[in-house]
């Protein structure tokens, strides 16, 4: 039994959806693993992973099973009641990380919104209203709500919406002296992505995160790691902070956490969580059984030595080929990132042209991403197999040749 559908096409987007996105010319209709098919039946290799979201590719049998099983049981019950999948997922997340407590929501922006509100509330309760300043990094990305664009270090996302949230300072990323100069006893939180994702797949230096930790401790400020993009196995550790050996007070997770089903989470300690007492914060859908059942299964699959070590091995396979292509065609000045969050930094001659490469890839039936105008970004499934990696990279090479020869 299936409902009859009105035929739709890409052109309809420009008539019925607000023009805040500019989607590709084709319309995907089905996916399996790291392959996607469009309306015309054309098969594409997916190295974009829904922007670091489809952590187990498309239609992974374990996730289909978790979702359909829960769909027959209970979809939504509200936070007036708790539910088994949320409790199971929270137990597993706290067992696997520094955290003692979890707040569930539906997106990365909401997880950060909760983190920033917690940081201000905690400081307010302990030290008073003066201690409310947040320090974040230039070129960072934390989501699209008014608070998160204000904390994010990209004015193109925060300008033009009236007064911004006040009390936010931006400092250059990976610059210890700048952070030292900016932090004070009025600082309630330092917010950092361990790897800047949207900002160009730029990893933090270990010394920078260590210095941030020490400075936060010195000034009674919270260290907040936005791991929305770097988390849930993306780097080959469950969370990137583990890779660095620097533990935050608050960590936000989303994207890969749901493997394609919307969910976000803010993780924190017992001591801080106490400041989110009854009524202080909330969301209708946060922690709903469907999302939590799927995320629980994602965590079960991802948080295993096989998958996490596999991510590191796959990184090497990608990086070696990308460096080779970079040299052959002179397109990359470097390849950076960690695990399966990989950035090809465009060489001087191709600066500003990331979109041209993404468009050329589409012509070669390949889905890739950009991270700003100067970086090509790959964020594929964490369980992509070698054959798909090789086929994807062969298509990427043809795409690069197209741009170079054009």
Ligand X SMILES: *Cc1c(COP(=O)(O)O)cnc(C)c1O
Question: Could you list the residues that contact ligand X (CB under 6 A)?
Answer: 107-109, 112, 141-143, 193, 197-198, 226, 228-229, 254-255
Q: What span, in angstroms and rounded, lies between the C-alpha atoms of 170 and 219?
A: 17
Q: Which is nearer to ligand X, 194 or 236 (CB)?
A: 194
- Give burial (CB, 10 Å; 0-12/13-18/19+) of 330: middle
* Least distance between ligand X and beta carbon 2 (Å): 30
* Least distance between ligand X and beta carbon 367 (Å): 17
Give the list of residues 6+ apart from residue 163 with CB closer than 8 angstroms, or none: none
Among all residues, whose Cβ is closest to ligand X?
108
Q: Which is nearer to ligand X, 369 or 393 (CB)?
A: 369
* Least distance between ligand X and beta carbon 305 (Å): 26
Q: Which is nearer to ligand X, 254 or 273 (CB)?
A: 254
Q: Which is nearer to ligand X, 242 or 331 (CB)?
A: 242
CA angle 89, 152, 108 (to 5 degrees): 20
Nearest of 79, 116, 88, 84 to residue 278 by alpha carbon: 79
* Least distance between ligand X and beta carbon 152 (Å): 8
Q: Which is nearer to ligand X, 254 or 335 (CB)?
A: 254
Q: What span, in angstroms and rounded, lies between the C-alpha atoms of 256 and 301?
A: 12
Contact call for residues 319 and 391 (beta carbons, < 8 A): no
Q: Which is nearer to ligand X, 170 or 395 (CB)?
A: 170
Supply 306's token pair.
Answer: 């096989």
Q: What span, in angstroms and rounded, lies between the C-alpha atoms of 386 and 53?
A: 20
* Least distance between ligand X and beta carbon 332 (Å): 22
* Least distance between ligand X and beta carbon 198 (Å): 6
Q: What span, in angstroms and rounded, lies between the C-alpha atoms of 129 and 123?
A: 8
* Least distance between ligand X and beta carbon 56 (Å): 18
Q: What span, in angstroms and rounded, lies between the C-alpha atoms of 117 and 276?
A: 9
Collapsed DSSP state (helix, strand, coil) of residue 170: strand
Collapsed DSSP state (helix, strand, coil) of residue 333: strand
User: What are the strands, taking DSSP E only, across 227-282?
Assistant: 250-253, 264-268
Q: Which is nearer to ligand X, 263 or 360 (CB)?
A: 263
């Amino acid at each position: 039994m299936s409902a009859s559908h009105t035929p739709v096409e890409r052109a309809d987007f420009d008539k019925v959806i607000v023009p805040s996105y500019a989607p590709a010319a084709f319309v995907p209709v089905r996916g399996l693993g790291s392959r996607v098919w469009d309306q015309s039946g054309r098969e594409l290799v997916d190295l974009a992973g829904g922007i670091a979201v489809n952590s187990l590719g498309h239609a992974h049998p374990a996730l289909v099973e978790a979702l359909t099983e829960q769909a027959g049981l209970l979809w939504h019950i509200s936070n007036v009641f708790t539910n088994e999948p949320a409790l199971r997922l929270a137990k597993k997340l706290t067992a696997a990380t520094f955290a003692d407590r979890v707040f569930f929501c539906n997106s990365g922006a909401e997880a950060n919104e909760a983190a920033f509100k917690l940081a201000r509330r905690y400081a307010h309760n302990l030290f008073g209203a003066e201690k409310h300043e947040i320090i974040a990094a230039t070129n960072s990305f934390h989501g699209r709500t008014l608070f998160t664009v204000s904390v994010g270090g990209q004015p193109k996302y925060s300008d033009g919406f009236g007064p911004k949230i006040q009390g936010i300072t931006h400092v250059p990323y990976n610059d210890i002296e700048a952070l030292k100069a900016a932090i004070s006893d009025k600082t309630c939180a330092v917010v950092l992505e361990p790897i800047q994702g949207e900002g160009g797949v730029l990893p933090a230096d270990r010394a920078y995160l260590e210095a941030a930790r020490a400075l936060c401790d010195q000034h009674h400020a919270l260290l907040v790691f936005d791991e929305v993009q770097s988390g849930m196995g993306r780097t080959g550790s469950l969370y990137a902070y583990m890779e660095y050996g620097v533990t935050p007070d608050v960590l936000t997770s989303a994207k890969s956490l749901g493997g394609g089903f919307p969910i976000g989470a803010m993780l924190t300690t017992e001591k801080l969580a106490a400041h989110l007492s009854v009524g202080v914060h909330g969301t209708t859908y946060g922690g709903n059984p469907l999302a939590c059942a799927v995320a629980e299964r994602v965590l079960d699959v991802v948080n295993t030595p096989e998958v996490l070590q596999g991510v590191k091995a796959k990184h090497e396979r990608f990086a070696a080929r990308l460096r080779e292509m970079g040299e052959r065609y002179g397109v990359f000045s470097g390849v950076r990132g960690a695990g399966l969050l990989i950035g090809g930094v465009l060489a001087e001659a191709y600066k500003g042209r990331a979109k041209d490469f993404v468009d050329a890839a589409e012509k070669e039936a390949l889905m890739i991403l950009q991270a700003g105008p100067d970086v090509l970004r790959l964020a594929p499934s964490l369980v992509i197999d070698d054959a798909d990696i090789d086929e994807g990279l062969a298509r990427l090479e043809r795409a690069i040749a197209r741009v170079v020869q054009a």
